[in-house]
Structure formats: C-alpha cells, structure tokens
Chains A and B, each alone.
Chain A
Amino acid sequence: MTKQVQQLDRVIIRFAGDSGDGMQLTGDRFTQETAAFGNDLSTLPNFPAEIRAPAGTLPGVSSFQLHFADHDILTPGDAPNVLVAMNPAALKANLGDLPRGADLIVNTDEFTKRNLAKVGYAADPVQDGSLAEYRVHSLPLTSMTVTALAGFEISKKDAERAKNMFALGLLSWLYDRPTEGTVTFLEKKFARKPEIMKANIAAFQAGWSYGETTEAFSVRYEIKPAEHEPGLYRNITGNVALAYGLVAAGQQSGLPIYLGSYPITPASDILHELSKHKRFGIRTFQAEDEIAAVGAALGASFGGSLGVTTTSGPGIALKSETIGLGVATELPLLVIDVQRAGPSTGLPTKTEQADLLQAMHGRNGEAPVPVIAPRSPSDCFDAALEAARIAVKYRTPVILLSDGYLANGSEPWRLPDVASLPAIEPNFAPPGQEDFQPFRRDPETLARPWAIPGTAGLEHRIGGLEKADGTGNISYDPANHDTMVRLRQAKVDGIARDIAPLEVDDPSGEARVLVLGWGGTFGAISAGVRRVRNAGHRVAQAHLRHLNPFPANLPEVLRSYDKVVVPEINLGQLALLLRGRYLVDVIGYNQVRGLPFKAEELQGVIQDVIDSE
C-alpha cells in the first residue's frame, strides 16, 4: 500500500521501557542511523542508577530521547513528539512530558493486569479513554516479535527480548532511516551467537515490514538532512570525546597519559574508553579508591607522565587533599569531574552543575586551581586538550567540569584536522644545570621547572610542606609563606592573559540583557536565546569555558548590559562568584531536577527579564 509522506523539519522521539528492555541500545542505534542519514541531532539518555530495578516498576524505567532535524539544533528537545512506551511503567513515568496530540506507541502485550497494578493503574489507560488527547498506536510488539521469530531455534525468552529491535525497525521505517548500520551492528554484536544474531536482524526487518504493510500507520515522515559544514562526521558522546581529547593531549605533548581512576557513574566510561587505547602508550590504572586513583596520577606526573584522574560526585571530595598536594608541589594533573546530582551519593545518573564552588575552593588553605568546562558533548574533546595545555604549561592541577548530560548525551562531530591541533610543550628541565632550583619560576608564566627523576644533577625533594621560594627547601618563614601563597595565586590568575577573551553573541548589537552560562547548559541557553530572538526581541549571549581564571574581559562584558541572567543547574554558584568578584547584581535562574534545562523554560526566563526592563 502506498503511504502518504509528510515533511517535518524536526522530531523528538523518546524510547521508554524497563531497564531490561534495551532502550539505551535502541536509542543509540536510532541515533547512529539518524547521524548517518545526515540530520543534526542531540540525545538525552535517562536511566536509573540501579542496574535492574524490579521489572515493570517505575524506578526501573529507562529512556532515551533523541531530537533530530533538518537544521542545526542545540538540545535533545523539551518534549517528545513521539513516545514509545514498552510497558505501563514507561507510560506512566513519561506521559507527563508528552504534549497533547503527540504520537504514542504502546506495547499492549505488557499491559497486563499485573503490570498495570504494579504502577497503580486501576484500569488500562489504553482502553479506558484516558489517552484520548494523544494519537495512540496500540501494538502487540512482543507477540508480533515472537510470531516473526517462530522459525528460529531460540528460546521464547530470547524471542521476546528482540522486541526492542522490532520497535526500532518500525520507527526506522516511520522516519525513513537507513538500516545497513544496524544490521552490521547486530552482526558484530552477536557474532558468537549466530542464531540470536539472525533473530534480532529478522525482528528488526519485521518491524520495518510491519510499518510498510499495516494500516495502523498511514503516514510516513521525512526529515531532510541538515546542512553541515563539509567534512568527515561521526556521532560522539561527551565521555568518548573527552577520552579522545586525552589521547590527543598525549599525542600533542609527547607525554605518556597515565589515568588513575576508580569506577563511578557517570565517569566510568572515560576509563573504559581509555583502557582500549593502550597502543597509544596510555596506562590506565583502576585503583583501590578515589584517593589512590588521583595519587597514582600525581605520582605518574612527578615521573614525567601526564597524570589524569576521572571521577564524579563524592569522588571529587575524596580527591581534594591530593589536588592540594598538586597545587603545593606544582605538578601537572588533570582532574576530570563529570558532575552529577548531589550532595553525597545524590542522583548518580542525573546531571547537575553543583561542583563549581568545590572545584574553585574545595581545598584547605589558599589552593587556586584552574577550572574549565566544556559546553557540548563534542566540545569535551577541545576542553580536554585545553585543560592539558594549561596543566603542562603552568605545572598545575586543572579541574575539568563535565556533567552527566554531556557525558552520556551525543551529537554529530566534525572531526578536527589532526595536523592543526595545538602542540603542547612539556619543556622538561634539562640535566646538568649548575645551581638548579626546583622552585625558581619562569618570569612570564610563573611556572616552576618540571625536573623529572632520572635527570642527572637535578635531584630534589618536593612535598606538601611549604617551600622556600626558589630552592624549594622546607621553610617555616612567615614572609616566605606569604610570598609563596601569592605566587601560586598570581600564577593561576596570570593564565587569564593566555586564554581567549569571552565572546558575546549579540546580532543586533543593541541588546540590554545578557544571558551568561557555563558548561553543559550551552545548548539549552542558546535554544532559549534563539526563541527569544525569533520572537523579535534582543538578547545577548555569552558562555564561559574558563571559570578560573575568568577571561580578562569578563568585568567589561558584565558592565556592558543593564541586566545579566545566569542560568545554572545549581543554586547560584557562578552567580555568587560574579557578585563577589565584580559586584554585579546578576539575576540567577536555578533548577536542580537532575535534568537539563528546556529551551522553552529559558525562553520564558529571558523574556521575563527583558519585559521587566
């Protein structure tokens, strides 16, 4: 039968199911197909901290949202146009986000009395008319999958498990996605289980064919590829981009990368990724705890490697003392904090920006540390390189603040030209110097020499006790301590001369309101700003990559606007720093729900400030 084809400029799809239903995999495959097709896209995986919460319960719901379009987009989307609900729990947990008129694909096989009762549905919402405001497609996905796989020598359980591939096939048909990538993927994934592999491919194809033949879907959608700059592209998550940035930092500096890490959500994937790249000479050390992880990294830096540690949540608290030692001994060290909702264990799989003040100040004594934050998943690559550059050039720990949204979210990435990546010069202290002094500083950068063991004639001792300026010997002299505290601060402050000024985006040049953000909120803020401008209003936007030191022109930028709005996924941490340092009465907008901002929400916030002018 011939289906009507409708053109759309963008779609937001959310796949939702039980943790065991393979929703992350389904979402990831749809994303890869969409990327290969050439749409712009942005993704938001959302899953529980428990590996398998009791099946069919609300805490066990896992979802994956994908926003794709024929134009450049900035966020994973506020609300889905299409929700695929694999069971009653998935429906209940996600229905609140679904706008009226949205498509709802429901796997009716799972809407049993028992499953409905588990989540408190007294009656079946698919039957009782309570979903009347949506376009409901009631499909027995599980039983259709089992029927399609009748000829395969697999268990009923394995057949049922392939229902996510059936759903993927159906959605792939509905949005005209290329399918070769998924077939190849399944061939690889199940290479050792040929029957399971064939069954999954068959389920995927059966889903596609079902779409083509059924009358349940009369319309098929087309979203044209987006216009991108020419180049080679791939889809990438923040964690993988960050790992690649670290590999690149090793290549560009010639320093061996040494990652000391302890598994913690959502940072572990950086450890997993880097552990695959031993051929680059990268050492990954899974330590006994967070403290040992950063300790080993610092020890490796002492020996002339680029020490890196990755963590999240409470892990960053445990590393504080060693970061302080890195400040005192002035050794390069990269501390990657993939922020998650806190305090304490908090919400391990949910995002937040609430570690900024800890990164800035969370150590005993005056212990300044440069802090930088990536703005999008692919930007994690550049941010890692920049963090490495600063750490090596200034002989200092650097904290990189990623977050759970950036870490697991993905977007298309135009691959950089490797030849054009900046070089990082380790400039080790050369052997055989007369009168070598381990704390004699470079007059320009105030960095001390990096004299590594094995260098003849430069034997010296470092440690956490205060050093005498120059010689580095232990010193309890009051004036020396004052000097050293100020020198360490001046060194970090001076980095402001070595970073790009803050760029302000203000197309009209006449905006009176500035929206200033940092880190992973860039996409949502930009989308909010775009909406405000499209509605005919003027607003300027700037986004900080460097949080310590701030760019040198920041005070001037702040004072150029009547009002400055600072949206953050915390209770106003950047706002506190800006007020304290520049005496500017910024307007904070703060939400801590473990989720990224929505474009519409920020549009409203910005509009309110403009209207109050």
Chain B
Amino acid sequence: MSDNGVNGNGVAGAGGNGRSLLSLVPKADGKQTLKDFKTDQEVRWCPGCGDYAILAAVQSFLPELGLRRENITFVSGIGCSSRFPYYMNTYGFHSIHGRAPAIATGLATSRPDLSVWVVTGDGDALSIGGNHLIHALRRNVNLKILLFNNRIYGLTKGQYSPTSEIGKITKSTPMGSLDAPFNPLSLAIGAEGTFVARTIDSDRKHLQSVLRAAAQHRGTALVEIYQNCNIFNDGAFEPLKDAAVRDDVTVRLEHGEPIVFGAERTKALRRTPTGSFEVVNVADADPAEIAVHDAHNPDPSQAFALSRLDSPAFEHTPIGIFRDVDRPSYDELMREQLDEAVEQQGKGDLAALLGSGDTWRI
C-alpha cells in the first residue's frame, strides 16, 4: 500500500497507514487540559442538545494532540453546530452558510503550521454547501470536517434537511417531505474522500477514537457525527442509543477485524455476489465468508457497500472508520509546486518580471 510514513507525534491512530501532517504544527510547551480549550462565552445551545456532548468530547480530546492552542483553528458555517468555534479557546471563524470548507481551504492551503477543523451540519454541509464539501474531499485538503448530522434544520426552527427521511412531516412539509435523503458517507466516498467515518454524540469513547484517527489523517477527514436535536427531531438515532437494542443494531467497524456484531456477537456481515453486504448468523456462516473490514483498501467499493447498510430504520448501522487511505494532500502538492518553481527558476525578482518580454529603451 502506501509508504507507511511516521505518524506525526507518535499517536497510534486507527488510520496509521499514511503520513500525518500534524508534525508541521508546533507542539505546546506544557501539558494541556480541557480547561485550556474552554472560552468565557456562555454556551447557547438548547438544554439537552447533542452538541454539548460533542463539545465536551472535543475539548477533552485536544490536549492529547499536544498542539499549541494558537495553531488550532475552527472554521464553521451557519447553523446550530456552527456556533462551535465560539466555545473553543483557539482561533475561530464563524463564516457563511455552507462555505466553511471553502474558507478553510484558503486557510489550510496557505498555513501548513495550522490544524484546521471545520464544524458543520447536515443542512450547512449537504444542502447549501454541498458543492464545497465534495470539492474539498476530492482535493484532499488538510481539513478535519465534523459533520453534525441531526437530520433536521434546527436554527431555522425545524424544517426537513437533506438527510431527513422521505415523508418527514415538518413546518415546511405538512404533508411529508418528498425528496430522497443523502447518505453523507456514500456521498463522501463517491467524492473521492480519503477518510470517511461515522460516530455518535453520546458515545464519547468512540467519538474520541475517531477524532484521534481523523486528526492524524493526511488530507480531508470527514467525520459524520449522529447528533440528537432534542427540540425538533428528538430520538432520531434512538435505536443506536437505547441500551436495550443498541448493541444489536450497531456494527462497530475495526480495521483488520471480522465484521461481527450483536449483543452476543452472533451476527456478521457477508459480501453478496453483487458486492453488497448481508447480515448472517455467525453460527450458520462459513468463517471464511465473514467479511473482514479493510479501511485501507484503495478500492472504495467495500467502504461504499458498508455505507449503504445503514437503512433509515437503523436495523444495523455501521459506525467507525469506513475508509482511511493515503493520498497526498492538496496542501502538500501546492507547496511542492511553489518550491519547485523556486528551485527551477530561482526566487522571484520583481524588476526582472516587469522587464520580461519585448522591451525597448528610450
């Protein structure tokens, strides 16, 4: 596969098969704590919002990276989730609806010494900003995109979103929504994403393990976070949270491991002749037929098939890192061209440039 380069600061991430760009970001002098990343601003999400759990998970995760706080930047669009930067004591840019990936692209490609995170939602990233999301993914810009998916518009008070299920009754769709939803991970894989993962707001341990791998990833990491909006779409992910059923429906993906799940680990995934996955009983299956998760496979078809497994009814929902492959980031390639230009032609000389071409003296 790839060159098995060194991980930035030695953190063993689930990714681990590519060269991390974190080594370009200056390290903090002392040990950091969660407090270092809190601001004095009052957090203004609704009580009980899933965003609180994600904020706390990120704030308590960042000290682990040991990066200088001033070299971390959060860029967001518009929506509930996009208020996130105000609560992070780093540099932050709360920008325009849908445009965070574009703005962050300018920042990340001009500043290799920064760790740039994008916080967005399903409306922000997939509706008004869909174009910027797919292009950031295909370019593999060094961005970590956290997509808070609550399957509803929150800040505008409850219209259906591009991830809402068909037939959703909302203020703008009293007879039910008509449009088929996006599957964000299928979209990201189709857009040549090199790191595509899913996690859940309420599972801090899993969320942080995914963030850890995302932070190390070379290029764009897309992390879909199932996030509950308790005001306008409460219980959207209930089967994944309800202690009685969640272990039966949650398929935890681990690179290199057979895909087995269920409270008693009695169920497994098997590839069908058409390339999709089907659920089988471990007891009935030939062990050789049980799929082994390979997040590092350059061929995206298995990751894509896994992304299709998440039916709207959450009968079996994979979480974890679907895809994590190594490809040079746009940032690196852009820098290389600048270096190459200087190597080949020398540093620019303004007077020489102005006087290039046909000149005459009077």
Q: Which A residues lie at the B interface, using CB under 8 A? A: 32, 35-36, 38, 181, 228-235, 244, 247-248, 251, 256, 258, 260, 277-281, 283, 285, 287-289, 291-293, 295-305, 307, 321-322, 325, 329, 415-416, 418, 431, 453-465, 473-474
Contact = CB atoms under 8 A, between A and B. Distances in A.
B357 A234 contact: yes
B30 interface: no
Interface in B308-345: 334, 337-338, 340-342, 345
Contact of A292 (B102, B346, B359): B102
Contacts of A431: 70
A260 B165 CA distance: 37
Contact of B359 (A232, A280, A322, A457): A232
Nearest to B346: A279
Given A38-B360, A463-B93, 16 more contacts: A35-B360, A36-B358, A234-B358, A234-B360, A258-B110, A277-B353, A279-B347, A303-B107, A303-B110, A325-B95, A453-B114, A454-B26, A454-B114, A460-B91, A473-B41, A474-B86
Given A283-B109, A418-B351, A291 B93 contact: no
A233 B102 CA distance: 40
A279 B76 CA distance: 32
B110 A295 contact: no
Interface string B56-99: 00000000000011111101101000000110111111111001
Contact of B105 (A181, A296, A457): A296
B70 A299 contact: no
What are the 8 tightest A-B residue pairs by CB atom distance, in nearest-first order? A463-B94, A299-B106, A296-B106, A295-B102, A280-B348, A461-B92, A278-B341, A292-B102
- Best-surrounded residue of B75, B94, B106, B109 (most CB of chain A within 10 A): B106
A458 B102 contact: no
A251 B354 CA distance: 13
A292 B132 contact: yes
B355 interface: yes
Given A415-B359, A454-B114, A244 B95 contact: no
10 contacts: A35-B358, A181-B358, A248-B350, A279-B342, A279-B346, A287-B105, A295-B99, A299-B106, A304-B110, A459-B69
B86 A296 contact: no
B107 A232 contact: no
A510 B169 CA distance: 76
Nearest to A413: B354
Nearest to A252: B350
B297 interface: no
Nearest to A31: B358
Contacts of B69: 459
B91 A325 contact: no
A459 B90 contact: yes
A296 B102 contact: yes
Contacts of A234: 354-355, 357-360
Given A181-B358, A232-B355, A458 B109 contact: no
B111 interface: yes
B135 interface: yes
A460 B92 CA distance: 6
B282 interface: no
A228 to B, nearest CB: 5
B103 interface: yes
Contacts of B362: 38, 228-231, 233
A474 B360 CA distance: 58
Contact of A281 (B39, B41, B132, B338): B338
A104 B325 CA distance: 66
Contact of A285 (B85, B109, B132, B346): B109
Interface residues of B, number: 60
A288 B132 contact: yes
Contact of B350 (A36, A251, A298, A460): A251
A461 B131 CA distance: 25
A461 B110 CA distance: 19
Given A277-B348, A277-B353, A300 B96 contact: no
Contact of A295 (B95, B108, B360): B95
A454 B92 contact: no
A457 B354 contact: no
B106 A260 contact: yes
Contact of A453 (B70, B350, B357): B70
B254 interface: no
A463 B89 contact: no
Contacts of B31: none
A258 B41 CA distance: 33
- Best-surrounded residue of A36, A234, A287, A296 (most CB of chain B within 10 A): A296
- Best-surrounded residue of B108, B334, B359, B362 (most CB of chain A within 10 A): B362
- Best-surrounded residue of B26, B94, B103, B346 (most CB of chain A within 10 A): B103
Nearest to B338: A278
Contact of A462 (B39, B68, B94): B94
B247 interface: no
Interface string B237-254: 000000000000000000
Nearest to A460: B91
Contact of B102 (A232, A277, A291, A453): A291
Contacts of A305: 106, 110
A461 B86 contact: yes
Contact of B106 (A233, A235, A298): A298
Contact of B131 (A258, A289, A307): A289
A287 B109 CA distance: 12
- Best-surrounded residue of A233, A289, A295, A321 (most CB of chain B within 10 A): A295
Contacts of A307: 106
A459 B95 contact: no
Nearest to B342: A279
B192 interface: no
A298 B110 contact: no
Given A233-B359, A292-B132, A455 B85 contact: no
Contacts of A229: 362
B29 to A, nearest CB: 10
A418 B350 contact: yes
B103 A458 contact: no
B103 A299 contact: yes
A36 B360 contact: yes
A393 B355 CA distance: 29
A281 B348 contact: yes
Nearest to A305: B110
B104 interface: yes
- Best-surrounded residue of A235, A302, A464 (most CB of chain B within 10 A): A302
A181 B345 CA distance: 24
Contact of A233 (B88, B135, B361): B361
Nearest to A287: B102
